Structure 1
């Protein structure tokens, strides 16, 4: 039997409204920054009563925290999880794949996790804003997102560099690689220079391929 919207329970309607506000908040905070978004603006775009934001989240900061937690929940869509990376490292040990293969796979996941879809672009824009001007919730993002994700990248880099590079250099390389990908989240400068109207699937693939190829060269694991 089909359940009509009128047949939804109050709890189901509340969860639906809450999710809608998180998605609206993701977009508005990404495009305008925290201070550039008002409660009235959030309510208007989400098509809900102004009091609804406060009811579900206690206010704008509560909604922003919920947006960050939603980004954290999906971090494995941006960074390969550590178990998957270690599985690929074991394949490298067995000679099933090359250093070029594993790092290209890893970095491709990151780039597409940032620019692959509209939602991932919004999430990456918020991450970029937090790195430039940390909010009061930066520590949450650092602990639950950055520490895990950067730690995974650093473990992989140490492995493919055979432990011959200092930890400080590994951390600098990791930061450079993330910064390189984040530069393509807001592609206006690129679009203006190359004459593109925007990202298409083909252009996302082109950017990703170039970035992966250059990242492999940057970390020094090209095939001989």
Structure 2
């Protein structure tokens, strides 16, 4: 059992336990999928008794939904929001930045947000699972996570691509863009082939620099 510092209220201890269960749930669901995680393994990894999961979330399904809501809550910390993207587009239109700089900024924001934080990587892995095999909570994820992210991306692409580009082409390029980003989440095949033991901050920066130039060429210039 986790030992809590003296003086903490029951409410504070309960919140700590709830956060720990979400953190553990995120990692286990990302690695094993919903059906591959048992209540017993959740409790064991979080160092709580089995009844605690039910007390805080009503069961495994409730914890899974709480994990996805946590991912949604932090979406704008690792993906450019609609408002922030619109600001960059306005800067481009005003001549403050070039089209190349605008596109590179968007791609870099995605890559840095996703690859720099191990917790974020677990979230993206879980989202990948939902895209491959949608669960009953997928509609919530689609509305509150995917839709805002795609809207921001479309704003960027509409400004970067030639006038008159069809919606189908914008969506096709956007899907390819997302795939390029997600391909490097837990990319063991890539790191093995280039001889890297792990994705260090320096190697992440090198990778982002290479791909930023190529994405600019792919999308617009």
Check whether TM > 0.5: yes
1:163: how far off? 3.3
| Cα deviation code 1:20-72 (max 9, x no counterpart) | 10011111111111111111111111000111011101111111111100000
1:173: how far off? 0.9
- Where does residue 194 of structure 1 map in the other structure? 194
- The TM-score, its normalising length taken from structure 2, stands at 0.95
In the alignment, the residues of structure 2 paired with residue 206 and residue 183 of structure 1 have an alpha-carbon distance, to the nearest angstrom, of: 16
- Where does residue 93 of structure 1 map in the other structure? 93
In the alignment, the residues of structure 1 paired with residue 210 and residue 189 of structure 2 have an alpha-carbon distance, to the nearest angstrom, of: 17
Deviant stretches of 4+, over 4 Å: none
In the alignment, the residues of structure 2 paired with residue 133 and residue 182 of structure 1 have an alpha-carbon distance, to the nearest angstrom, of: 16
1:127: how far off? 1.1
- The TM-score, its normalising length taken from structure 1, stands at 0.94
- Where does residue 107 of structure 1 map in the other structure? 107
- Where does residue 185 of structure 1 map in the other structure? 185
- Matching of residues 1-224 of structure 1 within 5 Å: 5-220=5-220, 222=221
In the alignment, the residues of structure 2 paired with residue 204 and residue 128 of structure 1 have an alpha-carbon distance, to the nearest angstrom, of: 21
Tell me, which stretches of 5 or more residues in structure 2 are unaligned? none
| Worse overlay, 140-149 or 106-115 | 106-115
- Give the superposed CA RMSD: 1.2
1:5: how far off? 2.1
In the alignment, the residues of structure 1 paired with residue 115 and residue 46 of structure 2 have an alpha-carbon distance, to the nearest angstrom, of: 24
Instruction: Count how many residue pairs are aligned between Structure 1 and Structure 2.
Output: 218
In the alignment, the residues of structure 2 paired with residue 213 and residue 61 of structure 1 have an alpha-carbon distance, to the nearest angstrom, of: 42
Tell me, which stretches of 5 or more residues in structure 1 are unaligned? none
